[in-house]
């Protein structure tokens, strides 16, 4: 193969890769919930993704969002949340300052998928398993043992902690209260769908979805 054929072969491969990447990005569902700018100084964008994506895909999406505005901003800040977790902190940030800087504030897609498949086995009768993204990403497993109720939380780094809870009747509902007490009147409620609701003095503030 002469050098010209080799050169055009490389160009064709790059074009094919770019087309494939563009096609894959079209399959990703997201919505822009905020897009504000201040002259050419900075642009702030907030995105809600239908689900977590890997870092190369996130970077490609970030560049796509950045290029969607023809203005050459000195800095572009893009914050990413996951659908169903909009009330929490950003899952990730992709900031152009001006070079792209990627920061994951929540579990990466690989860590999250690993967490989902973490065994729900516990030393007793399991009555529920939930995924929580409140403050951190972790899996919760509720089980009964020796007449007591426990909830074990397993985190993305493999560490875990277990707390004992006691059932109480609150406003006609059966709830779970930390056996050691709570300074803010917090408790858990397993709702009719099997999800775990987090409650406090001001009402329900988060719901962890059940897992299989």
* Residue 100 pLDDT exceeds 60: yes
* Residue 17 pLDDT exceeds 60: no
Return the closest-CA partner of residue 162 out of 122, 113, 129, 103: 122
Please count the CA atoms within 13 angstroms of the CA of 183 that sit on its side-chain side. 0
Return the closest-CA partner of residue 141 out of 201, 190, 179: 190
pTM higher than 0.75: no
Specify the pLDDT at position 185: 82
* Ordered alpha helix ranges (H), 27-54: none
Residue 121's pLDDT band, with cuts at 50, 70 and 90, is low
The mean of the pLDDT values for the chain is 84
Residue 117's pLDDT band, with cuts at 50, 70 and 90, is confident
In the three-class reduction of DSSP (H, G, I as helix; E, B as strand; rest coil), residue 201 is classed as coil
Specify the pLDDT at position 49: 94
Mean pLDDT, range 44-64, rounded to an integer: 95
Specify the pLDDT at position 57: 94
Residue that the structure tokens 């529920």 belong to: 128
* Ordered alpha helix ranges (H), 76-158: 109-116
Query: What would the pLDDT profile of 132-153 be if each residue is shown by its tens digit?
Result: 988 788 999 999 999 999 999 9
Return the CATH class of domain 116-210: mainly beta
* Residue 89 pLDDT exceeds 50: yes
**Of the ranges 24-28, 46-50, 118-122, 195-199, which one carries the lowest mean pLDDT score?**
118-122
Domain locations in the chain as residue ranges = 25-106, 116-210
Specify the pLDDT at position 15: 40
């Amino acid at each position: 193969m002469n050098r010209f054929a080799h050169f055009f072969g490389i160009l064709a491969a790059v074009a094919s890769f770019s087309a494939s990447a563009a096609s894959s990005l079209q399959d990703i569902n997201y919505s822009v919930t905020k897009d504000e700018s201040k002259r050419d100084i900075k642009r702030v964008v907030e995105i809600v993704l239908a689900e977590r994506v890997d870092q190369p895909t996130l970077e490609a999406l970030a560049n796509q969002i950045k290029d969607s505005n023809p203005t050459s901003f000195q800095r572009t800040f893009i914050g990413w949340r996951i659908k169903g977790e909009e009330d929490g902190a950003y899952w990730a940030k992709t900031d152009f300052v001006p070079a792209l800087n990627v920061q994951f504030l929540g579990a990466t897609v690989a860590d999250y998928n690993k967490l989902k498949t973490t065994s729900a086995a516990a030393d007793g009768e399991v009555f529920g398993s939930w995924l929580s993204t409140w403050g951190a990403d972790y899996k919760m497993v509720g089980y009964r043992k020796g007449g007591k109720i426990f909830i074990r939380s397993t985190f993305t780094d493999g560490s875990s902690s277990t707390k004992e809870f006691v059932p109480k009747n609150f406003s006609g509902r059966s709830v779970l209260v930390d056996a050691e007490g709570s300074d803010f009147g917090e408790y858990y409620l397993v709702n009719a769908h099997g999800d775990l609701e987090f409650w406090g003095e001001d009402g329900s503030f988060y719901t962890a979805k059940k897992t299989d």
